[in-house]
Amino acid sequence: MSIFFFDVTGVMMKKIKTICVLVTALSLFTACASVDNDKKANTEEKTMENETKEFINNGYAGDCPKDYSEFRLDGVNYGKIDHVIYHSNTCKMDRPFSILLPASYDGVKKYPVVYFQHGIFGDENCIIRDDNNRIRQITANLAADGKAPEMIFVFGHMFATDDPNQKPGFNSKDVLPYDNYINELVNDLMPYIESHYSVLTGRENTAVCGFSMGGRESLYIGLKRPDLFGYIGAIAPAPGLVPSRDGFMTHEGQFASEADMKFTEGMPLPEFLMVCCGTIDGTVGQFPKSYHNIFEKNGIEHTWFEVLSANHDSMAIRSGLYYFVSHIFTVD
């Protein structure tokens, strides 16, 4: 039996030094002064298409390119992180969240929103507290290069219980509050964000994504409410979407069977659905790939890739974030 271990943030602390050589061949386009705007747009679209194909090669990808995961010396302003308390009717208590606002945020311009979920035993700060994840750098650098729009990231506290004394654990009772987060998010956190921040609304401007347990819940939320979320991402999603067993517990399953793991009937399909995982992930093992296989079996269009030499770690997060952020929303 394989036993998988989580740490307190949902990220394994063991760092594996890996040298990933990502060879990128850029297509060069030249255009004379008489080329019209449509042809220029087609050229730019073709360039982006080639870059996408090169990042994922035969189902595998490397780390996020360093030019996007590091602070640049000139020309890019990086976002600001705030920590906020709001009241949750679902949990019947005040609850925290963290928010990453673009550097240009002024309360006037409206931005699309990504709701990002942390791993088991984590909180609203753990993903952004670990700068190895490089969320500020990746989002701002992609926006600066015109490969993604500026966007807002919201990090909620995913353990949505109404019992202040309850703690998460590896048993069916103490993971239920994670499954309850869909109610917290839809009924409390999203309305608060939309009433207190300058955000674009509607599924075309709203994404859900997460890592580990947060990846599992992001898939669940996205499958149940595609009317609210047009973009869905799961990085190394944990077991439990369907009945299964890992080294710690038996998962009853958020869906009764693999055949039931589909989008809610009658609701629109998402614009983009992504699942990825590290090739040496010793925490969630083959569960992410099993979700990929279920999606294929159920005829659900999605993007699946494995991150070479990544464990249940920041490298997997960086790679998944880079790909996800560059494929959601519309660049002006």
The tens place of each residue's pLDDT in the chain, 332 residues long, gives 443 433 334 444 333 333 332 333 323 223 333 334 444 444 444 444 445 557 999 999 999 999 999 999 888 999 999 999 999 999 999 999 999 999 999 999 999 999 999 999 999 999 999 999 999 999 999 999 999 999 999 999 999 999 999 999 988 889 999 999 999 999 999 999 999 999 999 999 999 999 999 999 999 999 999 999 999 999 999 999 999 999 889 999 999 999 999 999 999 999 999 999 999 999 999 999 999 999 999 999 999 999 999 999 999 999 999 999 999 998 87
Q: Residues near 274 by Cβ (< 8 Å), separated by ≥ 6?
A: 232, 233, 234, 302, 303, 304, 320, 323, 324, 327
Distance CA 10, CA 26 (A): 36
Using alpha carbons, list the distances in angstroms from residue 162 to 88, 123, 214: 9, 16, 19
Distance CA 315, CA 277 (A): 10
Burial class (CB in 10 A: 0-12, 13-18, 19+), 95: buried
CB 300 within 8 A of CB 307: no
Distance CA 270, CA 302 (A): 9
Q: State residue 20's pLDDT score.
A: 34
- Show the domains of the chain with their CATH numbers: 62-325 (3.40.50.1820)
Residues 67, 128, 60, 229: is their CA dihedral positive or negative?
Answer: negative
Q: State residue 248's pLDDT score.
A: 82
This prediction has a pTM of 0.84
Enumerate helices (H) and strands (E) in the chain, giving the number of each.
10, 12
Burial class (CB in 10 A: 0-12, 13-18, 19+), 280: middle
Tokens coding 145: 């290069």
